[in-house]
Structure 1
Amino acid sequence: MRFVKLKTMSLCLAASLALFGCSAGSGGWGPGDQTSGVSRQPVVVKMIAFNDFHGNLEMPGQLTVPDPADPSKTVKINAGGVDYLAAWVQSLRAKSPNTVVVSAGDLIGASPLVSGLFHDEPTIEAMNLLGLDLNAVGNHEFDDGQQELLRMQNGGCKTGAPTTSCQNGKFVGAKFKFLAANVKKSDGGTLFPAYEIKKFGGIPVAFIGMTLKGTPEIVSPDGIKGLSFQDEAATVNQLIPQLKRQGVSAVVVVVHEGGYQSGNFNECNGVSGPIVDIVKKLDPAVKLVVTGHTHQAYNCVIDGRRVTSAKHYGQLFTEIDFVLDPVTRDVKPGSIQAQNRVVARDIAPLASVSNLVKLYKDLVAPVANRVVGQAAGTLDRTPSAAGETALGDVVADAQLAAGAAQGAVVAFMNPGGVRADIIPGAGGNVTYNQLFTTQPFGNVMTTLTLTGAQIDQLLEQQWSDPSKVKILQVSKGFSYSWSQAAPAGNKVDIASIKINGIAIDPSASYRVQVNNFIAGGGDGFTVLTQGGNRVGGGVDVDVLESYFAGASPVAVPALNRITRLP
């Protein structure tokens, strides 16, 4: 989009048009406006940032933090709840006239039932009340496809969902901006604006928002048809000259990609992961990078730039302050201060948001509280040394049972699709809400045929990205071993792969049960796209519910299906 000096009305029109596909950004700062209304004093800007909220309107659980009495120890505290997050935002905003609130992606998608059942409209409405300014799209924003994501921005009721959409009156969509600088349409424009320009004391600041370039590997192909996902650093660097031509010197990047570190939530010990290389490749104009995706908390300086992340689920937020220099019109060197803060519940929640959450909790209660069966103990996602989990085993067992009529002899479940532990209540009871929180995607079962050699290749693809190993959860009767020391591509000895104790034949055919996401090559399991004789099945959460109905009390499996060798 080409920017020129415009009147206010034209600026609004340009920003509106940008939502329908643009090649640049919104905000409409022109170089001819540089001297009008600009502060002659340094301008202090406050950013409030969070990431990977995933529709967690209610407190998702306790947060482990350093013990104030002894920092060498940790304690668990209550943290989170969108009404408390909103109260903290309101409190900080009241103290600073130049405040901007940003989300680094996965605001929606893989959400608990109170938001997910209503197509994440409750989360969008809550963020409107909270005062979110912009959200860089993440991979989970595409869970239900690009058209549904556009509805999240533009509003309107979901077609074919009269009992679950627009339950709080007409859904108006997000009052904040979705940004997608590196998500290109076939016509060359971006799905959402590449950036948002905001002025503080008359000085413009550009916020570039984008998702990880690897999004196509972790979302269903049908939802992103016609879209391409560009390199993160290259996308930013291509935009810098355009922003400079508009008189913008201060640039903040908000990106749904991240890293890992071993310290507490305000440290940066041994930081690693994709974000490190991305930051090192960025144009020097970028001084601040807000990140997400890895569900980690860190407060780093990488290559001289501040890089932050606030864990997930609205339990932390990052408070960032920086100073704009009225002469250089850029971030003053050394002025960026950042701190990850707990969304503590020692503040009065924001009433309007509390009321919204209660409305949806009341609507969902009859469904959420329905008992679907019992479990003999906690079914968690704590992995064995080999990567096997109790809950992953149960999910795979449920899917195998659902595929038995189509001849399935093994089920494979991608670990990222198992989202929450199942902790039974009184009498071992398990509710539908717990199952939905565990399997929130609405993926459909697919039975297909693979050869023994292709099954071996499938297992090897668990290490297709050595930095993000994905150990498939497998159903009972299937077993194999893998070697820690062996190189990627040779981790699994095909002779160790057995079904009901019998080694597989590389040339024989086997019926395999998977969900439609990995059946389409998601998470890098591309060999599954070669599977033939496909038969569709039920929805993942329904399959799990049926299993609990027939197998309760569901036992806690012994973790003996996958073995790790030295």
Structure 2
Amino acid sequence: MRLVPVSLLALAVAACSSTPPVETAPVATEIQLLALNDLHGRLEAPEEVVPVTMADGSVIRVPAGGAAMLGGALKAYRTDNSMTVAAGDLIGATPLASALFLDEPTIEALDLMGLDYSALGNHEFDKGVPELLRIQNGGCEQFTARTPCALDGSFDGADFDYMGANVFLPDGTNLLPDAFVRDFGAVQVGIIGLPLVSVPGLVAPNLVDGLVFTDEAETANALVPSLLEAGADTIVLLIHQGARGVERWDDKGCEGLSGEILPIVERLDPAIAVVVSGHTHAAYTCRLPMADGAGERLLTSAGRYGAFFTDIRLAFAGEQLVATRADNVVVQGESFVGRDGEVVAASPRLPLFTPDPAVAALVERTLDKARPQMERVVGRLSGPAPDHPDDLESPAANLIADAQLAATRAADRGGAQLAFINGGGVRDALVPGPDGAVTFEQLFAVQPFGNTLMTVTLSGAELKALLEQQFVTADGRDRESHLIPSGNFTFAYDLSLPAGERVVSMRLDGVPIDPARDYRVTTNNFVANGGDGYSVFTRGRGRTGAGLDLDALVDWIAEGRAVPAVGRIDNRTPAR
């Protein structure tokens, strides 16, 4: 089997002589896609619990994930006519073991698993374009605060191809390849890969300066003619955008399916028969009708953290695609004890896998080198600080906001009067040990991005405009997102009011905010540069920096802290 870029194939097709085809009886061929998404560098088993509904209606809970087990599962399922694909966010927002080494171990693990290519996700851009290209191409040139090649002394880059069909440089060329055709002999399969168009709002915008992100469906559809001309018998789209709302991952009825991927899928050319998606961390395998009654296409996602992979089968009669099916497979992992004291164990009623020994050795080597830094106790907490599953106010978020204010309050550190953390910047709960001890690894899991703190001046009127952006997207759609404030600031909102009028109260140290007065406000550089749609922050004046957000949290809990209560944000929306 060979993987050929579309641009090269087009030249090859143009150079071929026209030989009349030899008529033969259709040959039945089955092509397999093994699909992943949103691994986020989970080398160790993430202690994910997956509920599985059995044929008799009973539900069992099993452990899932871990790079070595995922590698073994893919090896066990792989057929002779197979390719392995991914829908992005394989790296970025990763646990400390991978992040300490700039996610090089995760890339090596994916190579060992046999990944062929992946769409870019938004988190692949977390450290900027030069570092992304180093991840793809290899080398030890330093583009971040961390030292590259620190694990093995060298780094060869990814063996698989990252794809960004809708990501363009200023000169109009693609940052990375847009599409390929995979030749299986009897049939050829076209592959398009792209991230979601809103990447500039999901990373610090300065990290993607100069890049142009185009509409997903329009970009994919524009590539269809060249793929068909190059011989593709069907086309698969890998896209880092997704759906949610399906109550059970193993319910193929997909009742309640929703999300931003759906209008994209509705607009796709009928030649695109399969869409492998991601981003929402949901798991589903759904059949959606194509426009104008042209048939159905598969839409799949394999959850997150390697807890699943999707086994997709494409059946051909001759060169004609005649059937498709997809199943999400639980990657049963090793047993563990949950927070409730219950043992979560693998079940013999589901497939069991043997860890891939090469991946397991890589993970162990990485952990051995990272462990001294990971296990260092950096502070204490009075109890657990939960995170909110929908990125709203939570004890963990409040703790971070308080830390950021403390780190920037001094005049020579920014002179901050209040601070905010975006809900999406809080990635995990913080659960201390029995003696309240918190390790560096735990803090890193909560704030893995390596953002810096920035303090800016905003007027009271600008502060209100900023908070209004929590409840409307850049393109005018309603949403509910939170900027969680430090403990000296409170606000209230009413979602029944028109956009722009939903923030009904703002107080600093108990005093109403004065629209004409200036305030010094701290947040991370991602938000300060307009990330998550908070463009008002880009109007901020007198910008000053104050080091890493994670360092601020380490300093804040070093001598011990009580877990802050929620209540800084008051939802006054009338009950329906």
Aligned to 1:548, which of 550, 557, 561? 557
Mapped contact 1:474–1:561 kept (Cα < 8 A)? yes
2:211 maps to which of 227, 242, 253? 227
Distance in 2 (alpha carbons) for counterparts of 1:39 and 1:435: 62
Rounded Cα–Cα distance in structure 2 between residues aligned with 1:231 and 1:248: 23
CA deviation digits over 1:26-51, x for unaligned, max 9?
A: 79873749969999512101111111
**After the TM superposition, which residues 310-349 of structure 1 pair with which residues of structure 2 at under 5 Å, given as runs?**
310-326=302-318, 329-332=319-322, 335-345=323-333, 346-349=352-355
- Give the Cα–Cα distance (whole angstroms) in 2 for the partners of residues 556 and 205 of structure 1: 54
User: Which of 481, 489, 501 is matched with 1:478 structurally?
Assistant: 489
Confirm whether residue 78 of structure 1 aligns to residue 63 of structure 2: yes
C-alpha displacement of 1:221: 2.0
Cα 1:157–1:330 shift into 2, 3 Å: farther
Deviation at 1:516, TM superposition (A): 0.7
**What letter is aligned with 2:506?**
I
Q: Which amino acid aligns with 1:42?
A: A
1:557 correspondence with 2:554: no
Within the alignment, does 1:275 sit opposite 2:261 as a pair?
A: yes
Q: Within the alignment, does 1:432 sit opposite 2:440 as a pair?
A: yes
- Partners of 1:400 and 1:475 within 8 A in 2: yes
Contact preservation (8 Å) 2:203, 2:526? yes
After superposition, residues 7-18 of structure 1 pair within 5 angstroms as: none
Q: Does 1:89 align with 2:96?
A: no
**Counterpart in the other structure of 1:392:** 397
SS at match of 1:535: strand
Candidates 248, 251, 265, aligned match of 2:232: 248
Which of 460, 466, 469 is the equivalent residue of 1:458? 466
Q: Distance in 2 between matches of 1:39 and 1:86?
A: 38
Provide closer, same or farther for how the CA distance between residues 361 and 408 of structure 1 changes in structure 2, counting only shifts above 3 A. same
Q: Which of these residues, 247, 250, 256, is aligned with residue 263 of structure 1?
A: 247
1:168 partnered with 2:179:
no
- The answer for the alignment partner of 1:4 in structure 2 is none
Structure 1, unaligned stretches of length 5 or more?
1-7
Q: Is the 8 A contact 1:43 1:201 kept in 2?
A: no
Aligned counterpart, 2:163: 179
Q: Which of 14, 27, 34 matches 1:48?
A: 34
What is the count of residue pairs matched by the alignment? 537
**Residues 380 and 197 from structure 1, CA distance in 2 versus in 1: closer, same or farther, beyond 3 angstroms?**
same
SS of residue matched to 1:413? strand
Say whether the 8 Å CA contact 1:36–1:202 is kept in structure 2: no
Aligned partners of 2:207, 2:274: CA distance in 1, in Å? Answer: 31
1:376 equivalent in structure 2: 382
CA distance in 2, matches of 1:71, 1:229: 45
Counterpart CA distance in 2 for 1:202 and 1:165 is 42
Specify which of 87, 98, 104 is matched with residue 104 of structure 1. Answer: 87
CA shift digits 1:211-263 (9 cap, x unpaired)? 00011111112221221001000001111111122222310001000111232
Instruction: Give the C-alpha shift of residue 291 in structure 1.
Output: 0.2
Q: How big is the shift at 1:197?
A: 1.2
Q: Is the 8 A contact 1:51 1:291 kept in 2?
A: yes
Give, in whole Å, the separation in 1 of the partners of 2:223 and 2:94. 33
TM-score (normalised: structure 2): 0.89
Aligned counterparts of 2:285 and 2:376: Cα–Cα separation in 1: 42
Unmatched 5+ residue regions in structure 2?
290-295, 334-351
Q: Distance in 1 between matches of 2:266 and 2:94?
A: 33
CA spacing shift, 1:302–1:69, aligned 2, 3 Å:
closer
Deviation (angstroms), 1:492: 0.7
Distance 2:326 2:500 in 1: 42
In structure 2, the partner of 1:144 is 127
Shift of 1:63: 1.9
How far off its partner does 1:314 sit?
0.7
Match of 1:449 in 2: 457
- For 1:132, what is the secondary structure of its paired residue? coil
Other structure's SS at 2:461 match: helix
Alpha-carbon distance between aligned partners in 1 of 2:178 and 2:229, rounded to the nearest angstrom: 16
Partner of 1:125: 108
Rounded to whole Å, the distance in 2 between the matches of 1:102 and 1:37 is: 33
Between the aligned partners of 2:452 and 2:25, the Cα distance in structure 1 is 56
CA distance in 2, matches of 1:392, 1:318: 34
1:518 is aligned to 2:527: yes
Matching residue's letter, 2:321: V
The question of whether the paired residues in 2 share the 8 Å contact of 1:106 and 1:138 is answered with: yes
Distance 1:302 1:221 in 2: 34
Distance 1:286 1:276 in 2: 14
Q: Tell me, in whole angstroms, the C-alpha distance in 2 between the residues paired with 1:188 and 1:78.
A: 46
Query: Residue 199 of structure 2 corresponds to which residue in structure 1?
Result: 215
- The DSSP-based 3-state class of the residue aligned with 1:427 is coil
In structure 2, the CA distance between the partners of 1:373 and 1:436, relative to structure 1 (3 Å rule), is same
Q: Does 1:188 align with 2:172?
A: yes
What is the TM-score when the length of structure 1 is the normalising length?
0.90
Q: 1:435-471: per-residue Cα shift (whole Å, max 9, x none)?
A: 1111111111001110111111111001222465321
Change in 2 beyond 3 A, CA 1:375/1:71: farther
**Alpha-carbon deviation of 1:389?**
0.8
Picking from 472, 483, 508, the partner of 2:517 is 508
Q: Distance in 1 between matches of 2:499 and 2:395?
A: 25
Taking the aligned partners of 1:473 and 1:556, their CA distance within structure 2 comes to 15
Q: Deviations over 1:400-420 (max 9, x none)?
A: 111111221111111111111
User: 1:169: how far off?
Assistant: 3.8
Q: Which residue of structure 1 lines up, in the alignment, with residue 357 of structure 2?
A: 351
Which residue does the alignment assign to 2:341?
none
Residue number in structure 1 paired with 2:43 = 57
Contact kept in structure 2, 1:38 and 1:201, CA below 8 Å: no
Contact 2:246-2:284 within 8 A present in 1 as well: no
Q: Which amino acid aligns with 1:235?
A: T
Distance (Å, rounded) in 1 between the aligned partners of 2:389 and 2:550:
22
Following superposition, the deviation at residue 491 of structure 1 comes to 1.2
Change (3 A) 1:330 1:138: farther
Gap change, CA 1:540 and 1:378, over 3 Å in 2? same
1:162: how far off? Answer: 8.1
Q: Tell me, yes or no, if the aligned pair for 1:261 and 1:298 is still in contact at 8 Å.
A: no
2:52, 2:62 within 8 Å by CA — same for their partners in 1? Answer: no
Check 1:316–1:162 CA distance in 2 against 1; reply closer, same or farther (3 A cut): closer
1:37-91 deviations in whole A, cap 9, x for unaligned?
999512101111111111111111222313548747x554211000000001111
Q: Which amino acid aligns with 1:485?
A: S
What CA distance in whole angstroms lies between the structure 2 residues aligned with 1:359 and 1:36?
Answer: 54
**Do the aligned residues in 2 keep the contact of 1:323 with 1:331 (CA within 8 Å)?**
yes
